[in-house]
Amino acid sequence: MTYGILLDTFYWVVLLLFLIGIVCEFRYLTRSKGAKNK
Amino acid sequence: MVDQGPVFLTHLKKSIVWLAGSTLFGFAPLIFLYLINWMSEENLCAREIDYLLSGGFVVFVFVALTGTVVFDLLKARFRVSGWTATFAIYISPFCVLTYVFLKYMLKYVQYADQAEFGLGSTTARLSVGFMILYCLFVKTIYYLKQNAGNDNDIRYPS
């Protein structure tokens, strides 16, 4: 099951980077004037 | 600074409705089979339903939904804030797709459990979980950027 564990680890790393990226993007969006309520 | 809370929530609600509607549409054939199965006395479709569920139907539907979100964003050519956001929005779905491919490969070389893509399997849960999160949040980002009125960059000069 070594390959399975390796793949699951890969998945968790991708998920972690995804969450960090999404948080960064939301911070960028909410701090910029672009997505504003006119 | 403008309060973004209501805007974010509005778009998140839109994303939830979009995901619910698309999922329902994607699962319509399976729901139809369940309906036939329920109406028939001899459980006519029980084998087909089991076959679809163990074959990864749920994963396929969510892969298709994720694909629509990815290509919406690619087509709109939105600029994102940095490499982490680029990874999250443009690269991570392909990584999870690779994860699904490799798990499938392990299944067919008899290395992994044959029920690897069944409804309760780890692979199905992990990949579907990621894809639901991806569709919800990235679709919300898409709506937010679209709402900004500029398809390329939402950062206006101050």
Q: Tell me the per-residue pLDDT of A28-37, one tens digit each, with 9 for 90 and over.
A: 887 765 444 4
Lowest-confidence segment of B27-31, B107-111, B114-118 by average pLDDT: B114-118
- How many CB atoms lie under 10 A from the CB of residue B90? 16
pLDDT digits (tens, 9 = 90+) for A1-15: 688 888 889 999 999
Chain A residues with beta carbon closer than 8 angstroms to that of B1: 31
Residue type, B50: D
Higher model confidence: residue B95 or residue B75? B95
Q: Which ranges constitute the DSSP H helices of B27-91? A: 28-39, 46-55, 57-76, 83-86
Q: Which residue of A has its CA nearest to B126?
A: A11
For residue B143 the two structure tokens come to 């709506």
B7 in A contact zone (CB under 8 Å): yes
pLDDT for the residue numbered B1: 45
For B5-57, the pLDDT digits (tens) are 677 888 899 999 999 999 999 999 999 999 998 888 787 888 888 888 888 88
Q: Give the mean model confidence (pLDDT) for residues B68-97.
A: 90
Grouping H, G, I as helix, E, B as strand and the rest as coil, residue B24 is helix
CB-closest option in A14, A24, A35 to B81: A24
Quote the DSSP letter at residue B1: -
Chain A residue nearest residue B153, CA to CA: A34
Q: Which positions in chain B touch A1 (Cβ < 8 Å)?
A: 112
Cα torsion angle, B88, B93, B62, B71, sign: positive
B17 or B4, higher pLDDT: B17
Task: Indicate the angle between helix axes A2-31 and B122-147, nearest 10 degrees.
Answer: 20
Confidence (pLDDT) at B5: 60
pTM above 0.90, yes or no: no
> Nearest residue on chain A to B145, judged by CA atoms?
A35
Please say if the pLDDT value at position A20 is more than 90. yes
